[in-house]
Amino acid sequence: MKKNLILLLIFSIITIMLNRYAPYLAVSYEPEPIFARIKYNNVCLYKTPTDNSQNSNVYFLLEQSYFVQLLADENADFYSAKYIDLEGFVKKNQVETVTDAPNTPYLNDITFNTTPSSSVIMRTEPTSINADASALKILEPNSQGLMYYGKISGEEAVLGLGNIWFYSRFDSGQNNTTFGYVYAPFTNNLTPITPNIEVINLGLTDFNQMNEFLEIQPKFRFLIILLTAFPTIIALLLFFKNSIKNKRNKKIVKRNYEDS
């Protein structure tokens, strides 16, 4: 019995250590999401993890003080990241990881309309040079509720109106969603954008440590879960073993009593 208690104590210590250093693996295969705050007002969401700031490799500028969800340590210079429902890449030196998930990581319910005077074309790129090839959808005059993701400098499509384009999403119903660029001068009623003032502690290495563990140790997930369950299994076996032993002892005592 004493040896059994010692074994139970050892497995209990192992369980405590496993749940201390890999709690997310004991419960789920997926870790908690890790976020990074956007440090500057010129941070881009890139299409590929390369230092190419041409419009062909950039979705749009991310809003300073908001966040991206980090998905992987892509290379020496980039994280792969998710912003709202769009995946891309951000430069490591332009974001800072945080220890907790923010309440409002992304711009929320920022929308705009198209002008009532004419229809507008949503395009695959912030230019109208390749007019037919880049056209995605014709938006009717005064189209409502286009979701704003960010802005980018592109072609000055109309002389004197500037070169700003909005990357946006248009839902036309029946699961018909279109993502693309709309020339900003042909829009109005953009929801005012305010900075995110959430106070969250910075975390410098948590993302890299977790990412490394998940990449190197995935084969041991089942083993960790199994080891975590061992103390409970052993305790149940000891309980049933002692219960059976006690019943046998009672039968022997009862039989001896009846024989006497």
The 10s digit of each residue's pLDDT in 14-26 is 666 655 555 444 4
Mean per-residue pLDDT over the chain, rounded = 81
Rounded CA separation 122/183 (Å): 8
CA atoms within 13 A on the CB side of 110: 18
Tell me, what's the pLDDT at 11?
A: 62
Average pLDDT over residues 234-248: 63
Beta-bridge partner residues of 179: 169
Which stretches of the chain are DSSP H helices? 2-21, 23-27, 131-134, 206-216, 221-259
| pLDDT at 124 (0 to 100) | 95
Whether residue 209 is predicted with pLDDT greater than 70 in this model: the reply is no
Q: Span 193-200, mean pLDDT?
A: 92
What residues are paired with 169 via a beta bridge? 147, 179
DSSP 3-state of 186: helix
Segment 125-134 shows an average pLDDT of: 89
- Please say if the pLDDT value at position 247 is more than 70: no
Q: Quickly state the pLDDT bin for 202 (edges 50, 70, 90).
A: confident
**What b/e readout covers 228-251, taking b as 16+ CB neighbours within 10 angstroms?**
bebbeebeeeeeeeeeeeeeeeee
pLDDT at 238: 64
Q: Once rounded to an integer, what is the mean pLDDT over residues 124-149?
A: 92
pLDDT interval class at 173 (50, 70, 90): confident
Tell me the C-alpha distance between 62 and 146, whole Å: 17
Q: Which range among 44-53, 140-149, 228-237 shows the weakest confidence by mean pLDDT? A: 228-237
pTM over 0.85: no
Mean pLDDT along residues 204-231: 55
Helix (H, G, I), strand (E, B) or coil at 134: helix
- Radius of gyration for the alpha carbons in the chain, expressed in angstroms and rounded: 30
Token reading at 12: 């209990």
SS3 152: strand
